[in-house]
């Protein structure tokens, strides 16, 4: 009986998102919300699986940073991979139009994600 112990989940293509290795990089699977369009690597994702933004006076709570581009489905959730810890370059993180990356720095630090 043959059993595969490992399988390729995804592929890493170097860019400027990762800012160092002072803190360990960790990932986890995460479901993105139903929608249309594409979310790109580096997008800050909230608990609902959408891009972090501001609704009224409330700023979303981040859950992770999207590890790969993801094309959203208009009918079902989209499985993805997010970074949940590590060192990241703030200039490469994408957030909604009504907020800045600096608005999330404290929450990200509490999650183990550090901006440079």
Are 32 and 69 contacting, i.e. CB atoms less than 8 angstroms apart? no
CATH class of 24-115: mainly beta
The pTM (predicted TM-score) of the whole model is 0.86
Q: Which two tokens stand for residue 1?
A: 């009986």
pLDDT at 13: 72
Whether residue 12 has pLDDT greater than 80: no
Domain spans of the chain, in order of start: 24-115
Give the per-residue pLDDT at 27. Answer: 96
In 1-116, DSSP assigns E strands to 18-20, 26-32, 38-39, 44-46, 54-55, 58-59, 62-66, 70-71, 78-88, 113-115
> What's residue 57's pLDDT?
87
The pLDDT tens digits of the residues spanning 85-107 come to 999 999 999 999 999 999 999 99
Number of H helices, E strands in the chain: 1, 10
pLDDT digits (tens, 9 = 90+) for 30-79: 999 999 999 999 999 999 999 999 988 899 999 999 999 999 999 999 99
Q: In this predicted structure, what is the pLDDT of residue 32?
A: 96
Q: Look at residue 56 in the predicted model and tell me its pLDDT.
A: 86
At residue 6, the pLDDT reads: 73
């Amino acid at each position: 009986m043959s059993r595969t112990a490992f399988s390729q989940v995804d592929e890493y293509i170097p860019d400027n998102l990762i800012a160092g290795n002072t803190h360990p990089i960790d990932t986890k699977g995460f479901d993105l919300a139903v929608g249309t369009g594409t979310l790109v690597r580096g997008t800050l994702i909230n608990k609902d699986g959408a891009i972090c933004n501001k609704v009224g006076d409330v700023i979303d709570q981040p859950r992770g940073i999207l590890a790969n581009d993801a094309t959203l489905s208009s009918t079902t959730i989209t499985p993805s991979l997010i970074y949940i810890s590590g060192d990241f370059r703030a200039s490469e993180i994408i957030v909604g139009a009504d907020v800045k990356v600096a608005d999330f720095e404290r929450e990200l630090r509490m999650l183990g994600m550090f901006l440079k």
